[in-house]
A and B are shown apart, each in its own frame.
Chain A
Amino acid sequence: MNLIDKLQEAFKIFPGVGKRTAERFTFFTIKSDIENIENLANLLLDIKEKLHPCKLCGNPTTNEICSICSNKSRDHSIILVVENIEDLYHIESTCHFNGIYHILGGHLSPLENINPENLNIKPLIDRIKSNNVNEIILALNPNTSGEVTSSYLYELLKKYNTKITKPSVGLPYGSNINYLDKYTLIQGITERRELKE
């Protein structure tokens, strides 16, 4: 494989980048100024070297604790649990949630080799045990595996006597938090339904 082919193959690791787009990226790189490419290459390395999950919530940060978890003006008694980083960013962009987050890092699926120990669960339990948490919002993707993960977390967390809720209305079944329009999302996270036995 020559250099051009190698770079093309490398671009294809990105989601949504197929053969055609990888080709355009490659030829653009060849034509581009060295400064642009140097900057890009450095950023790619930086983000991998300097970012790591927040010790409390799993949100990628350059510090030990992320800016959301260390923000005193946010309501630390409400924790909203999501599957992925994208979901956190999407909900943040609505400016309608002032609590804090917890990123699980996926959904439960033994078939895909994702078992409880592969999910970011222990720090969540630690927080519930040590802090004054009043409410846990389970905002996993409204599809089958998200539902299963929600009921797993509910079973696991109900013994701590914290209120556990779910976004009630507006989240159409089979969808992905990340693709929901903001209006639907805001409605979903403001109108919540408490889970009980």
Chain B
Amino acid sequence: MINFRNIENHTFKFSNEVNYIYGQNGSGKTNMMEAVYYLSCAKSFRGVRDSDIIMKTKEHFFLEGKVISKNKTSKIEIGNNTKNKNIYINKKEIRKNADLFGIFYPVIFSPQDIFIVQGAPLVRRRCIDRLIASLEGNYIKILKDYNYAIEERNKLLRDIPDSEEEVYAAFEEVLVKNGLKIFEFRMKYINIINSFISPIYKYFAGNADDLSVFYKSSFDIESQMNLKSKYKDSRNRDIILKRTTLGTHLDDVEIFLNNEKAKYFASTGEQKTIGIAIRLAEARVYSSINNEVPVLLLDDIFSELDELRREHLIDSFSNKGQIIITSPDKYQVKGDVNYIKMENLDA
């Protein structure tokens, strides 16, 4: 990697089992994780602009990664100078970020995961949408068209509210068609997550508490029938509110611990554990469908766990796939671990 945040020029070699990167705060551990993640989808997991990633005072960054999965080696190269992003897979240029999907899928665990429980519905929608997009080839396009129709309809509501009935109907048709597909995909994946998450939580938390997730939608089974007329009926209200108030762009995933809403009732410690359990379930869903274990990136969550949970976390994935752990301190982890000290990177 070259000029990627505070890392000017460095090559990391990871083993295909457990990698443990330690070094003081600010040494660039999270930046390294971000680079690995960036190679999988040409986006940061921190939701920042590419210009924030380029090393200060530099004009571009460059990443190159060699990924070996399912006995296939792929070389991914991404160069970025804020104006242009060039992506190459095995020296062939690709046009869309989405063409990167399917080479490898990292699941990142970070202290931010508590926001999966605490945060706004958008955080949870993004989480589930990313998983679906990596497993269902047409999902990105469905979401994109849906969001396009929302933008267009909102423009009508805001600036040209007395547009013809037929103009509204044309955009609402996309919302109905694509919204139902989004609804079905999300329901399907929430159900799969639910089939994994309770035992994962019990094992990881080391108690008998019951964790479950529930997809909360403004579309329900009965309203599927007359969704078209529901949109029609909502126009007057939406014109006053200047936005579309019906659809999957407002849906949420509710998280329950022992049948109570975790957002309001779980303790901070429990919420952290729930965040990790959801990431573990995400990894499990991915591997159960794609027959391949995702790369686990454990950024700075290790030092917060007690020894038993550290072991549980590693155990649930060791001998199966690649794990990259970062931590300020060097803990002894059992098994064959590749330790890397983060310092003097440019030497």
Binding site for B on A (CB under 8 A): 108-111, 115-116, 144, 147-149, 151-152, 155-156, 174
| Nearest CB on B from A98, distance (A) | 30
Contact B174 A110 (CB under 8 A): no
B347 at the interface (CB under 8 A from A): no
Q: Which residue of A109, A111, A144, A155 contacts B169 across the interface (Cβ within 8 Å)?
A: A155
> Provided the pairs A144-B145, A144-B174, A148-B149 are in contact, do residues A156 and B155 lie with their beta carbons within 8 angstroms?
no
Contact A109 B152 (CB under 8 A): yes
Q: Which residues of A contact B343 (CB under 8 A)?
A: none
| Nearest CB on A from B307, distance (A) | 53
Give A108 to B159 CA distance when docked, in angstroms. 15
Contact B167 A115 (CB under 8 A): yes
B148 at the interface (CB under 8 A from A): yes
Contact B160 A152 (CB under 8 A): no
Q: Which residue of B141, B160, B163, B174 contacts A148 across the interface (Cβ within 8 Å)?
A: B174
Contact A111 B152 (CB under 8 A): yes
B166 at the interface (CB under 8 A from A): yes
B160-172 Cβ-contact flags toward A at 8 Å (1 or 0): 1001111101110
B114 at the interface (CB under 8 A from A): no
> Provided the pairs A147-B174, A151-B173 are in contact, do residues A111 and B166 lie with their beta carbons within 8 angstroms?
no
Give A111 to B148 CA distance when docked, in angstroms. 10
B156 at the interface (CB under 8 A from A): yes
Tally inter-chain residue pairs, CB-CB below 8 A: 45
Q: Which residues of A contact B167 (CB under 8 A)?
A: 108, 110, 115-116, 152
Q: Which residues of A contact B163 (CB under 8 A)?
A: 110, 115-116
For window 123-180 of B, CB contacts with A under 8 Å fall at: 141, 145, 148-149, 151-152, 155-156, 159-160, 163-167, 169-171, 173-174
Tell me the nearest residue of chain B to A109, going by C-beta: B152
Give A144 to B149 CA distance when docked, in angstroms. 9
> Provided the pairs A110-B159, A152-B169, A152-B170 are in contact, do residues A144 and B148 lie with their beta carbons within 8 angstroms?
yes
Give A155 to B170 CA distance when docked, in angstroms. 8
Give A108 to B151 CA distance when docked, in angstroms. 13
| Nearest CB on A from B244, distance (A) | 13
Tell me the nearest residue of chain A to B165, going by C-beta: A155
A148-B152, A151-B173 given; name 16 further pairs at CB < 8 Å: A108-B170, A109-B152, A110-B155, A110-B163, A116-B164, A144-B145, A144-B148, A144-B174, A148-B149, A148-B170, A148-B174, A151-B170, A155-B165, A155-B166, A156-B166, A174-B141
Give A151 to B177 CA distance when docked, in angstroms. 12
What is the predominant secondary structure among interface residues of chain B facing chain A? helix
Q: Which residues of B contact A115 (CB under 8 A)?
A: 160, 163, 167
Contact A110 B166 (CB under 8 A): no
Q: Which residues of B contact A109 (CB under 8 A)?
A: 152
Q: Which residues of B contact A174 (CB under 8 A)?
A: 141
Q: List, sorted by A's number, 26 A–B pairs whose CB atoms are closer than 8 Å.
A: A108-B167, A109-B152, A110-B152, A110-B155, A110-B156, A110-B159, A110-B167, A111-B151, A111-B152, A111-B155, A115-B163, A115-B167, A116-B164, A116-B167, A144-B145, A144-B174, A147-B174, A148-B149, A148-B170, A148-B174, A149-B170, A151-B169, A151-B173, A152-B166, A152-B167, A155-B169
Q: Which residues of A contact B152 (CB under 8 A)?
A: 109-111, 148
Tell me the nearest residue of chain B to A145, going by C-beta: B148
Contact B169 A110 (CB under 8 A): no
For window 234-268 of B, CB contacts with A under 8 Å fall at: none
Give A149 to B141 CA distance when docked, in angstroms. 18
Q: Which of A116, A148, A149 has the most CB of B within 10 A?
A: A148
Q: Which residues of A contact B149 (CB under 8 A)?
A: 144, 148
Tell me the nearest residue of chain A to B138, going by C-beta: A173
For window 160-203 of B, CB contacts with A under 8 Å fall at: 160, 163-167, 169-171, 173-174
| Nearest CB on A from B137, distance (A) | 13
Q: Which residues of A contact B155 (CB under 8 A)?
A: 110-111
Tell me the nearest residue of chain A to B178, going by C-beta: A144
Q: Which residues of A contact B148 (CB under 8 A)?
A: 144
> Provided the pairs A110-B159, A115-B160, A116-B164 are in contact, do residues A148 and B171 lie with their beta carbons within 8 angstroms?
yes
